[in-house]
Amino acid sequence: MTVLKVCVYPDPTLREKSIPVTEFDDRLREFIADLADTMKSQPGGIGIAAPQVGNLIRVICVDVTPREKAHGSLVLVNPTISEGRGKRITREGCMSVPEYTANVRRYDSITVEALDGSGERVEFVSMGIESVCIQHEIDHLDGILFLDRVDSLKTDVFRRKRFRESGGEDYGT
């Protein structure tokens, strides 16, 4: 198990756009395993994107099963959202922005197209927190942070300690 160092804002890597993966080899498989280990090592970690550990390739790992029933542990390479339906506002957190959470508006349900860790095409519909997490992680691939998606920095962003003390729950991706 290798836990990689997580980049924390204002690290400039978090603002860069990632490049598509073209080679599915042992090096990629090893990186994906390390990325998943890093996600699991973080308190409340349900998702992580390669740029969060300084690797500008289009790979994300998501596993929201500790919070809700979903597709299980997902590795998505070169993921895209082909359709989004409905809207929801969810309190989001991020291991790369550890001090804050925010209310973010996202699709409630999405259709995802991607490759798995072996390069096989996958397509599925995701709903609920899993959908939110996938959208959050795909944003990382494009250099977008969840704070960029809030309606109001004044009313929708919260210091993490204050929110947790109020008994709320946030989703640390």
Active site residues: 137
Distance CA 58, CA 132 (A): 18
Bond from prior residue into 10 cis (ω within 30 degrees of 0): yes
Distance CA 33, CA 50 (A): 11
Query: Considering only CA atoms, which of 116, 143, 129, 1 is closest in space to residue 59?
Result: 116
Burial of residue 102, with CB atoms counted within 10 A of its CB: 0-12 exposed, 13-18 middle, 19 or more buried: buried
Q: Do residues 108 and 85 make contact, with C-beta atoms less than 8 angstroms apart? A: yes
Tell me the pairing of strands 171-172 and 74-94: parallel
